[in-house]
Amino acid sequence: MPLYVLPFPMIDPAIFEIGPFALRWYALAYIVGIVLAWRYMRSLVLNERLWDTRPRPTPLHLDDFVVWGTLGIILGGRLGYVLFYNPAYYLANPMQIPAVWSGGMSFHGGFLGTVAAMTLFAYTRKLSLWRLFDLAAAAAPIGLFFGRIANFINSELWGRPSDVAWAIVFPTGGPEARHPSQLYEAALEGILLFLVIRLLTHRFQTLKSPGFTAGAFACGYGLARTFVELYRVPDEQIGYLSGFLTMGMLLSLPMVLAGAALMIWSKRRAAQAA
């Protein structure tokens, strides 16, 4: 154990409680992340400089989509956790599957749920699916940032034991000082990924190449998540799949490959059109 460690900020996971009702930081993170992502997507579609002349979603479309997207995130995130991370427990306790408040959400499940929601929404509204994918990809790091900060406040998904100067003793992680891996993810998946995609959309105008921004997000997230998995303790019920390989790495690999392929396809398609 290092001689000096950073104290864990003892923040109650519940902001306030009134009888059986409790507003938790985790729920607030979802609310704030979704609202800010929605507002950012609206600002993007209103910026004429970023788009070509082909049709794109309107602010009114995005106002309608926010409900679809929220359902995709929550339902997909929960089902992803149940299927990817703890199927044996939920098979034995099926009544616990809807208990989102007890913890257990998967980004990869939420990603798939959101893709399904966008596909259905684009089909029913007769919109370009790639345009919608690109908008969601540009805004997604906002929600990821707030979600990882909530993980830190909840003292969950902490990192491996470490003697780095910024190691923290988590109240749920035993006496060992650990990497604050939640903050690593907030920085990489949230702040850095947002800035990279912002540079792509505003400096290189990738929204004019449908699918490229979505591919950049998928690839960037997969790389960031794989890197942080080197410092994060895998879920106890799964552990390491083989050597240092974790479930998070395994689920991120298809995102990296698909994202890279989508960026290449998008650029080739734009070149052919030109």
Distance CA 163, CA 165 (A): 6
CB under 8 Å to 60, separation ≥6 — which residues?
Answer: none
Which residues, including other chains, have CB under 8 Å from residue 262's CB and lie 6 or more apart?
Answer: 211, 212, 214, 215, 218
The answer to whether 209 and 200 are in contact (CB under 8 A) is no
3-state secondary structure of 16: strand
Write the DSSP symbol of residue 18: E
DSSP 208: G
Whether the CA torsion 212, 217, 218, 223 is positive or negative: it is positive
User: What CA–CA distance (Å, rounded) separates 174 from 41?
Assistant: 41
Token readout for 173 is 């992680």
Q: d(Cα 186, Cα 202) in Å, to the nearest integer?
A: 22
Q: Compute CA distances 244 → 45, 189, 248, whole Å.
A: 42, 21, 11
29: left (phi over 0), alpha (psi -120 to 50) or beta: alpha
Q: Are 97 and 90 in contact (CB under 8 A)?
A: yes
148 is in an annotated binding site: yes
Annotated binding site: 148
